[in-house]
């Protein structure tokens, strides 16, 4: 078995990852088992550089708010604003405070400037995307931004008689944003506005606006740029997704939290499928959002089980979706010490490399009927690999030791 693993372990390089796959996928998903470690973000950055330079990838998408991410995309593609502004306003969940994320955005902007100076076409520029919904741990965003942006796009480009409502009507129905973002609504359904009469009317109007956008596609794709049309579709997906999410926040059934975590990943999946239509992209998020197997967690003592964004996208794209999980040996500053030798991480920790790429299906075959024990993490913020799902990954990136990052403001754990 040791020989089999050593034979399939290679340096963490784009070429080694690609050799694991039957063809270049449109979406290459790189998972991580914990958030907030610059070691993993730096590894992601280097892999993305190689994918850009060697494999023709042009987009990176991370587990961050899809609407705020537009500010980062504007900066890297057009130089809109400053790097500081992009980092402050273009990320959710505290991601903008990480040095590795700042370096990623800086490098992407510099690459695009060089490409423009060399006379390369716009399709060669690098793009950035957040693919999470506008959802925080404590609340979900108001649908105002997405709804009003979609209405504004349509109002200036189609016959106003076709619009289902005026901007004034939307504003009246939306009310103040704090009625949507009340933190108490996350744990108390009675505090949610999601099943109010106004919210019900907004769901119908959002559906009609999206239907109008679809019906006017031939006109809109010639009257405006493809980027503007893509953004309008993003606004439509986000508006309907948020209104659906708020509706189920007001639910009192036992399935409430299962629905909410599933809806979040469904919003992610819709954004990923839209990115896949644009060209090959590297996707970076928690393993639990990208894996093909069902995701599980406990929240407030309640077990939850749902299909992740990766599972949903994989079912649609087949071999055009690839998933490479990241596994870790130690995170000593979080008291995650050397893994037991009978776990997957323990077996990989015995390899001589500090970092390597492993053929996951081949590893599963080498283990045969000898299934490793599941690793138990002493820290809630780290999720070990599930040995039962080894063959569901196309590969594993293994990092032996994660060194401590500088302190950050970071609130997300999954």
Mean pLDDT of the chain: 94
* Mean pLDDT of the 215-242 span: 97
Q: How far is 16 from 30, CA to CA, in rounded Å? A: 14
The pLDDT assigned to 151 comes to 98
Domain boundary among 221, 238, 263: 263
Q: How far is 76 from 238, CA to CA, in rounded Å? A: 23
The answer on 221 and 105 residing in a single domain is no
Handedness of CA 402, 407, 408, 411 (dihedral sign): positive
Report yes or no: 377 and 331 within 8 Å, Cβ to Cβ.
no
How far the first Cα of the chain sits from its last, in Å, is 33
Indicate whether 383 belongs to any domain. yes
Residue 406 pLDDT class (50, 70, 90 cuts): low
Look at residue 413 and tell me whether its pLDDT is greater than 70: no
Structural domains counted in the chain: 2
The pLDDT assigned to 410 comes to 37
Residue 16 pLDDT class (50, 70, 90 cuts): very high
The pLDDT assigned to 4 comes to 62
Neighbours of 75 (CB within 10 A): 24
* Mean pLDDT of the 122-139 span: 93
The answer on 237 and 112 residing in a single domain is no
Indicate whether 42 belongs to any domain. yes
The pLDDT assigned to 299 comes to 82
* Mean pLDDT of the 171-197 span: 96
The pLDDT assigned to 294 comes to 94
The pLDDT assigned to 357 comes to 97
Report yes or no: 261 and 304 within 8 Å, Cβ to Cβ.
yes
The answer on 280 and 391 residing in a single domain is yes
Domain boundary among 246, 263, 280: 263
The answer on 200 and 91 residing in a single domain is no
Look at residue 298 and tell me whether its pLDDT is greater than 90: no
The pLDDT assigned to 272 comes to 98
- Domain boundaries, position 313: 1-136+268-401
Regarding beta strands 321-330 and 395-401, do their DSSP bridges make them parallel or antiparallel, or are they unpaired?
parallel
Residues whose CB is less than 8 angstroms from the CB of residue 395 and which lie 6 or more positions away in sequence, other chains included? 17, 20, 322, 324, 325, 357, 358, 359, 360
pLDDT digits (tens, 9 = 90+) for 265-294: 999 999 999 999 999 999 999 999 999 999
Q: How far is CA 180 from CA 89, 142, 171, 196, 255, in A?
A: 21, 5, 13, 11, 21
The pLDDT assigned to 54 comes to 97
The pLDDT assigned to 409 comes to 41
Indicate whether 413 belongs to any domain. no
The answer on 246 and 272 residing in a single domain is no
Look at residue 304 and tell me whether its pLDDT is greater than 50: yes
The answer on 366 and 330 residing in a single domain is yes
* Mean pLDDT of the 199-203 span: 98
Look up residue 397 and give its DSSP letter. E
Domain boundary among 197, 230, 263: 263
Indicate whether 311 belongs to any domain. yes
């Amino acid at each position: 078995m040791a020989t089999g693993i050593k034979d399939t372990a290679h340096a963490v390089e784009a070429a080694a990852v690609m050799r694991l796959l039957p063809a270049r996928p449109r979406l290459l998903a790189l998972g991580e088992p914990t958030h907030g470690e610059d070691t993993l973000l730096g590894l992601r950055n280097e892999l993305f550089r190689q994918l850009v330079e060697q494999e023709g990838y042009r987009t990176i998408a991370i587990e961050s708010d899809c609407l705020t991410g537009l500010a980062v995309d504007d900066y890297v593609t057009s130089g809109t604003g400053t790097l500081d502004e992009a980092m402050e306003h273009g990320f959710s969940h505290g991601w903008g405070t990480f040095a590795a994320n700042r370096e990623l955005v800086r490098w992407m902007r510099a690459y695009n400037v060089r490409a423009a100076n060399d006379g390369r076409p716009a399709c060669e520029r690098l793009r950035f995307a957040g693919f999470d919904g506008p959802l925080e741990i404590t609340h979900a965003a108001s649908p105002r931004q997405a709804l009003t942006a979609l209405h504004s796009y349509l109002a200036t480009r189609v016959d106003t008689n076709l619009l289902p409502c005026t901007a004034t009507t939307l504003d009246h129905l939306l009310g103040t944003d704090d009625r949507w973002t009340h933190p108490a609504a996350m744990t108390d359904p009675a505090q949610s506005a999601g099943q109010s009469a106004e919210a019900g009317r907004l769901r119908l109007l959002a559906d009609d606006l999206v239907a109008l956008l679809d019906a006017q596609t031939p006109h809109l794709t010639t009257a405006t740029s493809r980027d503007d049309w893509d953004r309008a579709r993003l606004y439509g997906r986000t508006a309907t997704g948020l209104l659906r999410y708020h509706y189920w926040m007001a639910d009192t059934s036992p399935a409430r939290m299962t629905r909410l975590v599933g809806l979040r990943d469904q919003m992610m999946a819709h954004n990923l499928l839209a990115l896949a239509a644009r060209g090959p992209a590297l996707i970076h998020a928690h393993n639990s959002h990208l894996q093909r197997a069902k995701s599980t967690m406990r929240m407030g003592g309640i077990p939850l089980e749902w299909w992740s964004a990766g599972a949903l996208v994989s079912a649609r794209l087949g071999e055009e979706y690839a998933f490479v999980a990241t596994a870790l040996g130690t995170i000593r500053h979080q008291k995650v010490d050397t893994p037991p030798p009978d776990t997957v991480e323990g077996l990989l920790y015995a390899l001589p490399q500090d970092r390597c790429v492993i053929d996951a299906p081949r590893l599963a075959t080498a283990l045969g009927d000898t299934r490793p024990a599941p690793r138990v993490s002493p820290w809630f913020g780290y999720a070990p690999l599930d040995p039962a799902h080894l063959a569901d990954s196309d590969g594993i990136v293994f990092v032996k030791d994660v060194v401590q990052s500088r302190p950050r403001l970071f609130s997300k754990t999954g």
